[in-house]
């Protein structure tokens, strides 16, 4: 059966070669100069599917001896440009709603008249344009708000877990450094998701849960604040010495929430 495959395979190869070698329709007319018209959006809305609204520009390009280009919307000539760049601006609001044919004719120095391929566009109202844009932008904004809310939630959870830290307990300050809460005077690790305001950050204290403007504290200030926590503790409260396992667990947790950027 294997030998049956060969003629079929050869035939496909031959067919592909013929396809590649066949002159494409565009190539056949290479001797005739072409006038190409493109449409650029200057300000407004374009659905990508042919609906447009706002200020757009015709842009025509052709042979080097192109002398003038006249632009048309349907059968109305909207302007003639006699020097490069052959460009003409128009606003869709000056024309009726619905489908329009946009095209151009060009004249060369040797008197040839060139016709561009027509472009068909559907002129829509500004309202329709903004509504369509809203259908894209609104879900996008919604998604961003959702992501921010989730990030916020993670930070809050992380802070809640840390809120159980006993007074005076040894701790690690993460990549963002430590700060001292102006409300309860206890030191804490600054959060990845705090708001940066020049040299200060608007961050929340995991101990008392209050938001305040804090600065990165020096190690000396932090050590002093840790010592001060001891004074806040009731006299009979024991400062717990963390077991090695607990220390390691805390360090891992710190690196998980703070060192990742």
Residues near Zn ion (CB under 5 A): 181, 183-184, 205, 207-208
Q: How far is the CB of 180 from Zn ion (least distance, A)?
A: 9
Largest CA distance in the chain: 105
Q: How far is the CB of 46 from Zn ion (least distance, A)?
A: 53
* Nearest residue (CB) to Zn ion, 17 versus 211: 211
Task: Give the H/E segment covering residue 257.
Answer: helix 244-258
For residue 66, count other CB atoms closer than 10 A to its CB: 21
For residue 76, count other CB atoms closer than 10 A to its CB: 9
* Nearest residue (CB) to Zn ion, 201 versus 207: 207
* Nearest residue (CB) to Zn ion, 184 versus 194: 184
Residue 40's closest CA among 54, 22, 26? 54
Q: How far is the CB of 239 from Zn ion (least distance, A)?
A: 19
- Both structure tokens of 97: 């709603």
Q: How distant, in Å, are the alpha carbons of 206, 214, 256 from that of 190?
A: 10, 9, 14
Q: How far is the CB of 162 from Zn ion (least distance, A)?
A: 12
* Nearest residue (CB) to Zn ion, 71 versus 203: 203
Asked if the bond preceding 85 is cis, omega within 30° of 0, the reply is: yes
Q: How far is the CB of 212 from Zn ion (least distance, A)?
A: 8
* Nearest residue (CB) to Zn ion, 107 versus 179: 179
């Amino acid at each position: 059966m294997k030998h049956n495959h060969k003629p079929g395979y050869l035939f496909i190869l031959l067919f592909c070669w013929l396809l590649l070698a066949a002159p494409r329709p565009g190539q056949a007319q290479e001797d005739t100069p072409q006038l190409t018209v493109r449409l650029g959006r200057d300000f407004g809305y374009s659905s990508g599917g042919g609906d447009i609204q706002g200020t757009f520009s015709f842009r025509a390009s052709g042979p080097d001896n192109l002398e003038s280009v006249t632009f048309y919307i349907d059968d109305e000539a909207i302007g003639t440009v006699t020097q490069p760049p052959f460009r003409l601006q128009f606003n869709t609001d000056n024309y009726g709603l619905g489908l329009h044919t946009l095209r151009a004719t060009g004249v060369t120095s040797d008197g040839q008249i060139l016709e561009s391929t027509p472009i068909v566009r559907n002129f829509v109202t500004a309202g329709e344009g903004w509504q369509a844009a809203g259908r894209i932008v609104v879900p996008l904004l919604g998604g961003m708000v959702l992501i921010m809310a989730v990030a916020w939630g993670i930070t809050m959870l992380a802070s809640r877990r840390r809120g159980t830290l006993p007074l005076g307990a040894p701790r690690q300050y993460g990549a963002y450094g430590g700060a001292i809460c102006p409300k309860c005077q206890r030191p804490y690790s600054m959060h990845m998701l705090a708001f940066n305001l020049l040299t200060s950050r608007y961050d929340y204290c995991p101990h008392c849960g209050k938001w305040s403007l804090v600065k990165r504290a020096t190690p000396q200030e932090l050590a002093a604040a840790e010592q001060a926590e001891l004074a806040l503790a009731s006299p009979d409260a024991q400062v717990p010495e963390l077991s090695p396992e607990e220390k390691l667990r805390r360090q891992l947790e710190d690196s998980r929430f703070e060192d990742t950027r």
